[in-house]
Every structure is written in C-alpha cells, then in structure tokens.
Amino acid sequence: MNNQLKEFQNHLKNSKKVIALVGAGLSASSGLPTFRGSQGLWRNYNMIDLATPDSFYIDPSLVWQFYSWRRYLSLNSNPNNSHKSIIKILDQFKKDANKQFLIINQNVDGLFNKIRPNIPELFDIHGNLFTLKCTNFSCNYIEKNNFKHPLTSALKDVENENSNVTTKSPNFKPIKSIDESNLPNCPICKFLLRPGVVWFGESLPLDLITKIDNFIEDKFLMPDLILVIGTSGTVYPANSYVERVKLKGGKVAIFNTEIDDNILNGEIKNTWGFKGDAAELLPLALGDFESGFG
Ligand code: BJW
Ligand code: ZN
C-alpha cells in the first residue's frame, strides 16, 4: 500500500490532466445508501421498477415516493471528507493554467454544491434530485435548485414511515398509492413533473457528454489519470471513461471498499487500488496535494 501510495502521489503530482469519476460510495459516509450490493437501495426493489421512464409511467406514485424520500435524505446530509478532498485538489489544479481537472459525478444528491454552488468543472451526468422537469413533451418547463420538501402534502409521510431506513438497512417502503393529482405538477401545463435525473434507457445531457468527449480526446493534452471513486462501474457510459482514459495512456487509481485482489497486488498494469472508505482514503491519498505538495 505504501509503495503504491507513493507511486500514485508522484504520478498525481506530475499530472496535467485528471478526471475524477465518482459514484454512490462517495456519499456513503454522509449517510446516503448506495444502489447495488447487500446494503444497496435496490436490495428490495428491482431498479427497473424505480429508475426507468416506464416505471414512472406505470407507477408515478411509487417512483415519486422513492425520490421524495431520497430528496429528504440528501437535504439532511452533508458533504464528507471525500467531497472536500476532491474540491481541494480541483482548486490546486485551477491555480496552474497548464493543468485541467474534471469531476464526472454520477450522484444526484447535490452534496458537492453544499461545499460550493456552481462548480464549472463538476458534471452531474445523471442529473440532480433537486431539478424538476415537466413530462409533457410539448412543455419545456425545468426548475433547478428546488429544495422544497415535501413537494406536495401527500408526499409528506414517506420519510416518517422510512425513518428507520439507514445505510445499513436501506429497505425503502412506499406508504400508499397517491393519486396523480396529488403528485408534483407543472405550474405551466399541469402535467406531472418528474425528478430531473437520468434513468436507464435515457440519454445523458448531450452538452456534458460532448464536453467530456472533447476533454478526453483533445490531442494536445491527453488525460494522465482517472480517479475512480466509490463506483461499481456497472453503468454505461460512465464506466466507459476508464477504458478511454487508459487508451489515451492515462493511469487509473481506484478508491473503493471492495477491490479485486489482483488490482490490490499491483498485478494490473497502470492501475492502483486503494481499499477502504473514500472519506478516509482520499484525505490521506491526496493529502500532500491539498497542502500544495509540501
Ligand atoms: C464505497 C463506499 C465507501 C460503498 N467508500 N466506496 C441493455 C439494455 C438497456 C440499456 C443498456 C443495456 N446495456 C447497457 C445499457 C445502457 C445502460 C446501462 O448501463 N445499463 C447497465 C445496467 C447494463 N445505461 C443507460 O441506459 C444510460 N443511458 C444511455 O446509455 O443512453 C444511451 C442508450 C440508451 C439505451 C440503450 C443503450 C444506450 C443511462 C444510465 C442512467 C443511470 N441512472 C442511475 C439512476 C439515477 C437516478 C437515481 O439516483 O435514482 O444512476 S442508475 C444508478 O447507477 C445511478 C448511479 O449513478 C449509477 C451508478 O451507480 P454507482 O454510483 O456505481 O453505485 P453502486 O451502488 O453501483 O456502487 C457503489 C460503489 O461504492 C460500490 O462499488 C461499493 O463497493 C462502493 N462503496 N461504500 C468507497 N464508503
Ligand atoms: Zn408543463
């Protein structure tokens, strides 16, 4: 671990272009459940029932209760040391005009924005729980930064019913079937509103995808490193960025509570693995960097 850490820190120090690809494990220490695995949100629900356009079309009451509860959890959570370390390293990179740093964030919890709103280098590729969008194709109503809770009075009991749901036992329970007229609706056309997140089968925001493509493909400055933090790497296109950075000659540093032994043993070329809680590992691994390399 120590040799790997030194090697990694040395590479980071000499890197000009770095991507941080982050997932649900980043916010685990803030008390927000991850998705997959024995302690994941999708332990007692199939993701297809909660995170597809069809699931919303079939049962908007169930899906809204799930997202109302997630909004409540996020509103009541704070960024942890891993969020703070990433912002510190971003700020270090920004001091040098020859360096670039990009955060590809799969999380929708808005925790980075509790450190600082409007971070241009932060790309929320799966959207944000606090964005609301109209479901009417001929209405383009979008509202950002809506932190009202609950959004309707019918949604107000969901968190009480789920108050014993923790990261250790994330069994979300819907409370009742709520009539569509009592779910959030569009102030312009009265159609149903939906959470501004990206579900399976939906396109990611095209502007962000194009900017990420340009960032990786820029032939004048190739990516030196991708930090892969708290993500299972199971979802496309987020997972594809790791291979693409490797193809450009960049190295990979994984921070996760679960890492394959061959990575930990240094058997995978150009890949470091650091096993543990990201909130503990990142301040340690990026420590020198935070203080300007000492
Ligand atoms: C810790 C830790 C600690 C824990 N410290 N670490 C076949 C049919 C249809 C579609 C597809 C298909 N094959 C591929 C696709 C494409 C599809 C896809 O990838 N599907 C896979 C399931 C196979 N992707 C899409 O549909 C995307 N759109 C797209 O591709 O458009 C073009 C297209 C359309 C149709 C067909 C083909 C192409 C959209 C994907 C949108 C994903 N959205 C979600 C929900 C967002 C809203 C919400 O939050 O509810 O995003 S899914 C969910 O997974 C969420 C997450 O951002 C994402 C990734 O999960 P993440 O973050 O990795 O969490 P976990 O739980 O999986 O992992 C946590 C990790 O942390 C673990 O490794 C732990 O060990 C670790 N950990 N504690 C450090 N303290
Ligand atoms: Zn509308």
The whole-angstrom separation of Cα 118 and Cα 225 is 24
User: Which pLDDT score is estimated for 50?
Assistant: 83
69-115, pLDDT tens digit by residue? 899 999 999 999 999 999 999 999 999 999 999 999 999 999 999 99
How many CB atoms are located within 10 Å of the residue 168 CB?
8
Ligand 1 atom nearest to 258, measured from its CA: 75
The whole-angstrom separation of Cα 20 and Cα 104 is 6
- Mutual angle of helices 206-217 and 240-247, in 10-degree steps: 20
pLDDT above 80: residue 292: no
Ligand 1 atom nearest to 195, measured from its CA: 47
| Mean pLDDT in residue range 21-36 | 93
| Mean pLDDT in residue range 37-42 | 60
Ligand 1 atom nearest to 37, measured from its CA: 66
Residues 6+ apart with CB under 8 A from 150: 68, 72, 156, 158
| Mean pLDDT in residue range 122-126 | 98
pLDDT above 50: residue 217: yes
> Average pLDDT over the chain, rounded to whole?
91
User: Which pLDDT score is estimated for 7?
Assistant: 95
d(CA 126, ligand 1 centre) in Å: 9
Q: Which residues lie with the beta carbon below 6 Å from any ligand 1 atom? A: 23-25, 28-29, 34-36, 40, 51, 106, 108, 126, 197-204, 230-232, 234-237, 255-258, 277-278
The whole-angstrom separation of Cα 121 and Cα 104 is 8
Share of the chain above pLDDT 70, in %: 88
User: Which pLDDT score is estimated for 44?
Assistant: 60
Which amino acid is present at 98?
N
SS3 23: coil
The whole-angstrom separation of Cα 254 and Cα 261 is 12
User: Which pLDDT score is estimated for 9?
Assistant: 96
User: Which pLDDT score is estimated for 87?
Assistant: 97
pLDDT above 50: residue 165: yes
| Confidence bin at 2 (pLDDT 50/70/90) | confident
Residues 6+ apart with CB under 8 A from 210: none
Query: HEC profile for 107-133?
Result: CCCCCHHHHCCCCCCEEECCEEEEEEE
The per-type count for the chain, helices as H runs and strands as E runs, is: 12, 9
User: Which pLDDT score is estimated for 216?
Assistant: 98
| Confidence bin at 288 (pLDDT 50/70/90) | low
| For ligand 1, mutation pick of 132, 200, 202, 274 (most atoms within 8 Å of CB) | 200
CA torsion, ordered 191, 193, 199, 201, to nearest 10 deg: 20
d(CA 193, ligand 2 centre) in Å: 7
User: Which pLDDT score is estimated for 169?
Assistant: 46
**Helix or strand (DSSP H, E) at 196:** strand 193-197
| Mean pLDDT in residue range 29-51 | 74
173-192, pLDDT tens digit by residue? 777 789 999 999 999 999 99
| Confidence bin at 156 (pLDDT 50/70/90) | confident
255-284, pLDDT tens digit by residue? 999 999 999 999 999 999 999 999 999 999
Q: Which of 63-67, 159-163, 193-197 has the lowest mean pLDDT?
A: 159-163
User: Which pLDDT score is estimated for 289?
Assistant: 65
Q: Which residues are catalytic?
A: 126
User: Which pLDDT score is estimated for 38?
Assistant: 59
pLDDT above 50: residue 294: no
| Confidence bin at 161 (pLDDT 50/70/90) | low
Which two structure tokens, joined as six digits, stand for 127? Answer: 């959207």
The whole-angstrom separation of Cα 275 and Cα 294 is 25
In this prediction the pTM is: 0.95
User: Which pLDDT score is estimated for 41?
Assistant: 59
Question: For residues 85-121, b (16+ Cβ closer than 10 Å) or e, as one string?
Answer: bbbbbbebbeeeeeebbbbbbbbbbbbbbeeeeeeeb
